[in-house]
Amino acid sequence: MGTVKVIEEKAYLMVLYRDLHSMIDRINTLRKDLTSTYSEEGGAFKAHDRHLLELADYIGWKLAILEKGTGFDWKEAGEKDVESIVSVRPPEFAGLDFSGGYMGG
């Protein structure tokens, strides 16, 4: 019985993932159509383009949360654009190592 729930969850997550990706693709297509319809310097273009860009960014942010926040293995599911490794730069030190604690005396 637990297996059925896992399979249903995987199917749901795959559909959700693909639908969100297709929404981003559709928004980007709308932005290209907007560019060909209006001049890039016009007020209508700037207002609509900004809103479409914000919408695509918001969906992308939610998609990133979905990718990182679920236990689902996106690589195993065949999704190629999901990062499996995150790189973090080492901390940068500016000069002397200073502690704000007890200085002696």
pLDDT of 23-82, one tens digit each? Answer: 999 999 999 888 888 877 777 788 888 899 999 999 998 888 888 887 776 666 555 555
- Nearest CA among 31, 27, 18 for reference residue 82: 18
pLDDT, residue 86, reads 47
pLDDT, residue 10, reads 80
For the chain, what is the domain count? 1
80 within domain boundaries: no
Structural domain boundaries, residue 20: 2-68
Higher-scoring residue by pLDDT: 15, 26: 26
101 within domain boundaries: no
36 within domain boundaries: yes
Can you tell me the distance from the alpha carbon of 102 to that of 9, in angstroms, rounded to the nearest whole number?
A: 55
Higher-scoring residue by pLDDT: 93, 61: 61
Hey, what are 25's tokens?
A: 């693709």
62 within domain boundaries: yes
